């Protein structure tokens, strides 16, 4: 095992877009979380950068506003945290702003040999390209590491995602780019890897022989709520399926589906180690010029990218799309009631799609993906449905329910394994399905942004989305997105469903048609 990475001395994090929603609600509270856990080195500094000309005190108020002081110790730590923070006003349109930022960074590094700079891009996507260009030209650390942290969305289709990448290419090396998706920072998602690879009992059954289907649900109870115009241009597939939540969940689900038993290693003539998965080269040690720890991360993320690569593009015939109408009591608005959403909008606020992985281990196992807004509840979970037991009728005239393993990302992170047991009784011979509950009740779980920020500060890329993964995931969805954008494709007109319902009519039958188990 490699030595853990640490935050380097003299590191500065610059939050670009420090007055925005993401910074206020997520980034500053997460950084304060790291302060509370004593994970920030004493010389670590934070600089906020945004167009508003605000005073130092007003900037500190932005930082403090979402933080609830639960104890006097908290107040002390918050003051300590604020001493790390300062603000520079500026925008992407002028060299003057970048020069002001550079001067502040130089001031903070006075007397130090090296300075490591991280730029968190908490910005509207429209100004991202010019901003990163300016930062590279004027604020790159010539002595020390420089990293850029990018928030989703990473484009809106394969071409725009590649365009974004082409803008980054002349300025940043891949090891300097951190693509953040907060689902990858969730504890339960990370735990899935350990559960899969650290427990022999799961390795043996993780394949098409034992698993019937895998269901991934990402549902939201709320509708577009004031963001109708934005959502109308994006839709559930870009917003949820590809871009935001499902990609990391899906990726880890697929990764968890692969076993090291499939891996093979070979030493090449020049001493490098090559690692193969199902006969395909996924990693060559020595090929990447990076530290030992980073090489291990390359190995892990290579598996992930390869798994996405194996997935076939989603076909529209294996898809149902929907758009929410008013709630059945008429109280909640339809999507088309949102401001600036046209009456003839064909935007999908719901999508259920079936994907397949083309390899020996997973041939024939459907991956059922379901995501949407204005549904009966907010839930993100992966449910693995196992095949029915061959002995199912020995104990009961009714078939026993199949085993399931549920990995719940939210609400209440946890893992549940449903098994059949005997109900203790002298008079009857009854069985019942119970959940082995591995939930996280009462345990303090780090916030996803704490995990991801700490990774970037340390230079740990395990949870960062790699460019080849991004490319592979867009390849899965782009043909369907093109089909949806085709005005003539009548089959892709969304089916209306009521706000607060379980989704469009026909959904249960659609899902059941890909499942052979009852659970
Ligand atoms: P906001 O619009 O709330 O904030 C954007 C920030 O960028 C503000 O500080 C804004 O300053 C600043 N800004 C705008 N124009 C310029 C400019 N020309 N030069 C410099 N700074 C500028 O957006 P969010 O914080 O909501 O989102 C930021 C990014 O994060 C987006 O890409 C979004 O998709 C992504 N994201 C957001 C999430 C959230 O919870 N909000 C969750 C996940 C991703 P000013 O206030 O003065 O306009």
The 3-state DSSP composition of the chain as helix, strand, coil percent (nearest 5) reads 35, 25, 40
Per mean pLDDT, which range of 6-20, 278-292, 457-471, 493-507 is the poorest?
A: 278-292
Residue 418: strand, helix, or coil? strand
Check if 222 has its Cβ closer than 6 Å to any atom of ligand 1: no
* 28 C-alpha to ligand 1 centroid (Å): 14
Ligand 1 atom nearest residue 125's Cα? 32
* 496 C-alpha to ligand 1 centroid (Å): 32
Counting every residue, how long is the chain?
519
210-245 pLDDT, tens per residue?
999 999 899 999 999 888 888 888 888 887 766 555
pLDDT recorded at residue 255: 57
Q: Residue of the nearest CA to atom 17 in ligand 1?
A: 91
Q: How far apart are the C-alpha atoms of 493 and 125, rounded to whole Å?
A: 29
Between 6 and 130, name the one with better pLDDT: 130
CA dihedral in degrees (18, 21, 22, 25; nearest 10)? 100
* 21 C-alpha to ligand 1 centroid (Å): 6
Output DSSP code: residue 402.
P
pLDDT recorded at residue 230: 83
pLDDT recorded at residue 300: 54
Check if 57 has its Cβ closer than 6 Å to any atom of ligand 1: no
pLDDT recorded at residue 260: 38
pLDDT recorded at residue 83: 97
* 86 C-alpha to ligand 1 centroid (Å): 18
Confidence bin at 385 (pLDDT 50/70/90) = very high
Find the distance separating the first CA and the last CA of the chain, reported in whole Å: 40
Whether omega before 153 lies within 30 degrees of 0, making that bond cis, reads: yes
Q: How far apart are the C-alpha atoms of 173 and 516, rounded to whole Å?
A: 47
Q: By CB neighbour count within 10 A (0-12 exposed, 13-18 middle, 19+ buried), where does 198 fall? A: exposed
pLDDT recorded at residue 34: 96
Q: Residue of the nearest CA to atom 40 in ligand 1?
A: 22
Check if 20 has its Cβ closer than 6 Å to any atom of ligand 1: yes
Please give the average per-residue pLDDT across 401-418, as a whole number. Answer: 89
* 82 C-alpha to ligand 1 centroid (Å): 22
* 127 C-alpha to ligand 1 centroid (Å): 10
Q: Residue of the nearest CA to atom 32 in ligand 1?
A: 124
Ligand 1 atom nearest residue 128's Cα? 32
Output DSSP code: residue 338.
S
119-178 pLDDT, tens per residue?
999 998 889 999 999 999 999 998 899 999 998 888 888 888 899 999 999 999 998 999
Check if 399 has its Cβ closer than 6 Å to any atom of ligand 1: no
Per mean pLDDT, which range of 53-57, 158-162, 244-248, 492-496 is the poorest?
A: 244-248
Pairs from 469-472 (Cβ < 8 Å, separation ≥ 24): 469/247, 469/251, 469/301, 469/304, 469/305, 469/308, 470/154, 470/155, 470/161, 470/165, 470/179, 471/158, 471/161, 471/162, 472/305, 472/308, 472/309, 472/311
Q: Which of 51, 100, 183, 448 to mutate to test the pocket of ligand 1 (most atoms within 8 A of CB)?
A: 51
Check if 152 has its Cβ closer than 6 Å to any atom of ligand 1: yes
Give whichever of 80-94, 154-168, 172-186, 411-425 has the largest mean pLDDT.
80-94
Check if 21 has its Cβ closer than 6 Å to any atom of ligand 1: yes
pLDDT recorded at residue 471: 84
Q: By CB neighbour count within 10 A (0-12 exposed, 13-18 middle, 19+ buried), where does 249 fall? A: buried
* 494 C-alpha to ligand 1 centroid (Å): 31
Tell me phi and psi for residue 88, to 5 degrees: -130, 130
Got the DSSP string for 33-80?
Answer: HHHHTT-S-TT-EEEEEESS---HHHHHHHHHTT----SHHHHHHHHH
Confidence bin at 205 (pLDDT 50/70/90) = confident
Q: Which of 92, 96, 124, 240 to mutate to test the pocket of ligand 1 (most atoms within 8 A of CB)?
A: 124
- For 459, the token pair is 């230079």
Q: By CB neighbour count within 10 A (0-12 exposed, 13-18 middle, 19+ buried), where does 142 fall? A: exposed
Whether omega before 411 lies within 30 degrees of 0, making that bond cis, reads: yes
Please give the average per-residue pLDDT across 357-366, as a whole number. Answer: 83
Q: Residue of the nearest CA to atom 33 in ligand 1?
A: 124
89-122 pLDDT, tens per residue?
998 888 999 999 999 999 998 777 889 999 999 9
* 166 C-alpha to ligand 1 centroid (Å): 22
Between 326 and 207, name the one with better pLDDT: 326
pLDDT recorded at residue 269: 46
- Say if residue 62's pLDDT is above 90: yes
Packing angle, helices 292-310 and 246-256, rounded to 10: 100
Check if 123 has its Cβ closer than 6 Å to any atom of ligand 1: yes
For 138-187, give the secondary structure using H, E and C.
HHCCCCCCEEEEEECCCCCCHHHHHHHHHHHCCCCCHHHEEEECHHHHCH
Diameter of the chain measured on Cα atoms: 85
345: nearest Cα among 231, 239, 237, 242: 231
Strand 350-355 to 367-372 pairing: antiparallel
Check if 181 has its Cβ closer than 6 Å to any atom of ligand 1: no
Confidence bin at 403 (pLDDT 50/70/90) = very high
pLDDT recorded at residue 375: 97
Ligand 1 atom nearest residue 127's Cα? 18
Check if 91 has its Cβ closer than 6 Å to any atom of ligand 1: yes
- Say if residue 3's pLDDT is above 70: no
Per mean pLDDT, which range of 57-61, 82-86, 213-217, 284-288 is the poorest?
A: 284-288
Q: How far apart are the C-alpha atoms of 72 and 146, rounded to whole Å?
A: 36
Q: Among residues of the chain, what percentage have pLDDT more than 70?
A: 84
Residue 12 to residues 107, 265, 448, Cα–Cα distance (Å): 11, 40, 21
* 48 C-alpha to ligand 1 centroid (Å): 13
pLDDT recorded at residue 96: 94
Q: Residue of the nearest CA to atom 35 in ligand 1?
A: 151
User: CB-based contacts of 201: which residues, under 8 Å, 6+ apart?
Assistant: none
Residue 113 to residues 10, 35, 42, 99, Cα–Cα distance (Å): 9, 25, 17, 21
Q: Among residues of the chain, what percentage have pLDDT more than 90?
A: 46
User: CB-based contacts of 390: which residues, under 8 Å, 6+ apart?
Assistant: none
Between 66 and 334, name the one with better pLDDT: 334
Check if 344 has its Cβ closer than 6 Å to any atom of ligand 1: no
pLDDT recorded at residue 248: 57
Tell me the pTM: 0.82
Residue 370: strand, helix, or coil? strand
pLDDT recorded at residue 462: 77
Is the predicted ipTM greater than 0.90, yes or no? yes
Sheet holding 263-267, edge to edge: 263-267, 273-277, 280-285
* 124 C-alpha to ligand 1 centroid (Å): 5
Check if 239 has its Cβ closer than 6 Å to any atom of ligand 1: no
Check if 66 has its Cβ closer than 6 Å to any atom of ligand 1: no
Q: Which of 17, 182, 231 to mutate to test the pocket of ligand 1 (most atoms within 8 A of CB)?
A: 17
Please give the average per-residue pLDDT across 175-194, as a whole number. Answer: 81
Confidence bin at 264 (pLDDT 50/70/90) = very low
Check if 227 has its Cβ closer than 6 Å to any atom of ligand 1: no
């Amino acid at each position: 095992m490699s030595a853990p990475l640490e935050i380097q001395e003299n590191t500065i994090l610059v939050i670009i877009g420090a007055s925005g929603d993401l910074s206020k609600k997520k980034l500053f509270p997460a950084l304060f979380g790291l302060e509370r856990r004593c994970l920030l080195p004493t010389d670590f500094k934070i600089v906020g950068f945004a167009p508003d000309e605000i005073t130092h005190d007003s900037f500190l108020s932005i930082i403090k506003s979402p933080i609830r002081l639960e104890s006097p110790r908290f107040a002390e730590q918050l003051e300590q945290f604020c001493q790390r923070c300062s603000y520079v006003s500026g925008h992407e349109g002028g060299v003057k702003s970048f020069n002001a930022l550079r001067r502040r960074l130089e001031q903070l590094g006075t007397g130090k040999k090296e300075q490591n700079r991280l730029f968190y891009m908490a910005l509207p996507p429209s100004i991202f390209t010019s901003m990163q260009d300016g930062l590279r030209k004027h604020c790159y650390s010539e002595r020390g590491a420089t990293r850029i942290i990018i928030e989703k969305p990473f484009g809106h289709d394969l071409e725009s995602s590649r365009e974004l990448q082409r803008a980054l290419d002349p300025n940043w090396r891949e090891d300097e780019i951190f693509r953040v998706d907060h689902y990858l920072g969730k504890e339960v998602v990370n735990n899935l890897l350990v559960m899969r690879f650290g427990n022999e009992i799961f390795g043996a059954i993780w394949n098409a022989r034992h698993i019937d289907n895998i269901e991934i649900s990402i549902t939201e109870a709320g509708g577009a709520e004031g963001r109708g115009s934005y959502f109308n241009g994006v839709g559930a597939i870009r917003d949820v399926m590809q871009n935001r939540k499902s990609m990391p969940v899906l990726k880890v689900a697929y990764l968890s589906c692969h076993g090291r038993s499939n891996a093979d290693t070979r030493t090449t003539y020049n001493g490098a180690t090559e690692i193969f998965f199902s006969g395909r080269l996924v990693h060559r040690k020595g090929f990447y010029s990076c530290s030992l720890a980073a090489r291990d991360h390359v190995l892990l993320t290579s598996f992930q990218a390869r798994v996405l690569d194996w997935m076939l593009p989603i076909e529209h015939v294996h898809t149902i799309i929907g758009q929410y109408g008013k709630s059945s009591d008429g109280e909640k608005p339809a999507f088309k009631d949102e401001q600036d959403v046209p009456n003839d909008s064909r935007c999908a606020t719901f999508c259920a799609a079936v994907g397949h992985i083309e390899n020996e281990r997973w041939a024939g196992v459907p991956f059922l993906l379901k995501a949407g807004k204005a549904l009966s509840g907010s839930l993100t979970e992966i449910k693995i449905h196992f095949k029915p037991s061959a002995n199912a009728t020995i104990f009961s005239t009714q078939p026993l329910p199949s085993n399931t393993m549920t990995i719940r990302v939210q609400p209440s992170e946890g893992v549940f394994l449903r098994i059949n047991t005997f109900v203790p009784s002298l008079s009857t011979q009854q069985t019942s399905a119970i959940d082995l509950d591995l939930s996280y009740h009462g345990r303090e779980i780090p916030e996803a942004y704490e995990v991801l920020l700490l990774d970037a500060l340390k230079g740990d890329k395990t949870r960062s989305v790699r460019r080849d993964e991004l490319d592979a995931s867009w390849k899965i969805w782009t043909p369907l997105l093109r089909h949806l954008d085709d005005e003539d494709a009548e089959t892709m007109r969304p089916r209306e469903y009521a706000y607060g319902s379980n989704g469009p009519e026909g959904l249960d039958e659609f899902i059941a048609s890909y499942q052979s188990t009852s659970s």
